[in-house]
Structure 1
Amino acid sequence: MRGFLLTALPILVALFSIAYYYTSFTHTVFSDPSAKDIPSSPSMLNNTIKNTMSKALHHAKITAHRSSARGHSNHGWLDTYHSFSFANWYNPSFTHFGSLRVLNEDRVKPNNGFPTHPHRDFEIFSYILSGELTHRDSMLKKGAEGGQSDRFYRMHRGDVQFTTGGTGIAHSEFNEHNKDTVHFLQIWAIPWAKGLTPRYHTRHFDDADKRQGFVNILSPLKGGVEATAEQEKAAEPTIPGTIPIHADFVMGAGIIAPDSKFEWTVGAKATEATKRKVYIHLPMTKGGKAKIKLDGREDSILLEGDGAFVDGVNAGDKLSVESVGEAEAEVVVLDTA
């Protein structure tokens, strides 16, 4: 017995030492606050690293606004979705987001549309996705905006028509095409002042540019809230080549190919306001085949018709938008204070 103990004792001591060393090592690693959530399996470790590394804006709160949560009405001639409370649809959770007040995604059948109606004290713009939309308002003059007529401006894909309602303006929007449905976004923003002089602008933004990165569409009037009459007339935007808007508001658009990624610079270097809100919208243009991921987050994947509230971000932050669907994704960005 004594011989057995003498033989076994060194082995037991060695085993005990190994066990003690291993226990101490693992305890030291996992008791470290910076490492206490490290998973025990390689697959879990890979997932954790992937999710942590891809989430660039840790301070941002991203909340999906699903298409199914939008207001929806189909009037036969008009099939419309409301991201925010509009007309007969009201949801207290979706009244506005910063100065963004209305985002409607409309399809209007041929030879139908919205007859002349008034607006005041809103910045209103239409972004044409497909088809043809004819705009008439009380401000149009012969030869203006392409010289099409003294009574109308006919818009197609890539065109953006912008109106400052101000003290009051009347306009109509009709699909006068005989065959094609027009698909467009109508967006309203709350201006920084009431009683502005009504104005309108129309510009075209090429798809080729949108496929290279986000293209700035709107930016604040350079003269700001205290703009003089001369600055109002000059209508110079903060970002050259964009349409000026009377709000701390920037709009961008991009067309992202599958497996490609664009970055949106919050504030677009057009504003001094640090705290920002960004709304992302993915229009229904590809029959459900487009899909995007925001900030690399698996819980922030948007399908067609979905939007997302991005809150808690600062001017200069980089928000990644990745196309993860089968078809290219046309993404609209609405960036507001």
Structure 2
Amino acid sequence: MLKTNAGRFFEDYSIGDVIHHAVPRTVSGGERALYHALYPARHALYSSDEFARASGLPESPIDDLAAFHVVFGKSVPDISLNAVANLGYGEGRWLKPVYAGDTLRSRSEVIGLKQNSNGKTGVVYVRTSGLNQRDEVVMEFVRWVMVRKRDVDAPAPETVVPELKNVLEISDLIIPEGLDFSNYDTMLSGEPHRWSDYAIGETIDHVDGVTIEEAEHMMATRLWQNTAKVHFDATHRDDGQRLIYGGHIISMARALSFNGLANAQMIFGLNGGAHANPCFSGDTVRAWSEVLDKADTDAPGVGAIRLRLVAYKGDAAFETKGENGKYLPQVLLDLDYWALMPK
């Protein structure tokens, strides 16, 4: 009797399927330490309990993206084990901070299916939720992933592509209870630039670069228990290379954005994102940001800023697409998100 799991293929999904993912995971201060070891992450709210308490929180939360990776990683064995690539994200919301000691689990609902014209693969759209030990939803996001078919002759499902918001309104998002930047200390945070110092349309070159190493990206993918074969098995791709987990690039670019956006403390909304081109070990990742919008909030001393974060290799600063409308080959990531900053 076969007991191993080869993972789901495209024809195994149906609209409306709700998948409860194994295995729940209790996070600890170890997650923070490893996250900060893997990336040059330095945002003060996620580094210091005392800074977090001065900002109205009970303690320093787990980094928002670290929590995202845990929730995402739970979904991989059921959603993207046989993926060719994770294509994009939308409608992401961080609903509650995650603290050391919380236990996270994930569930996903299939909300879209579209077979590709080659008949060998298809795109699966899912809405994934992360829940804590109190059954509270701490985050949710939509992602779409290209998955191989087991049988190329299997009939194509009816095409369903979900309608997603291009941009989340501030009213769609949740600011952590108690967050208060009235007494925010820019000396401790690392930069003096506040919400009012940024102008819509402004671009910021984050200057620094990090060369991706096999050891770090493999450790990161294992840390998040991401089992997608393209990240581990060098025989799974024709070129014999292991694809870098897209979340690794997101976290690297976010960490690099500290230089120029040190006070963009919390990500609380994800409008959209695309992994424009694959990244491999040896690539040097750099990043730049564009200020897309700003909004006031009801939280004391807190403003919201909408940012476009672009990660690239080579010489693609402030460029993303060519004359044909397609991403330049140097562009790795194009991410649109909302963050919280002190006014």
**The TM-score by the shorter chain falls in which range?**
under 0.3
| TM-score scaled by length of structure 2 | 0.26
Select the structure of larger CA radius of gyration: 1
| TM-score scaled by length of structure 1 | 0.27
Structure with the bigger RCO (C-alpha within 8 Å, sep 6+) is 2
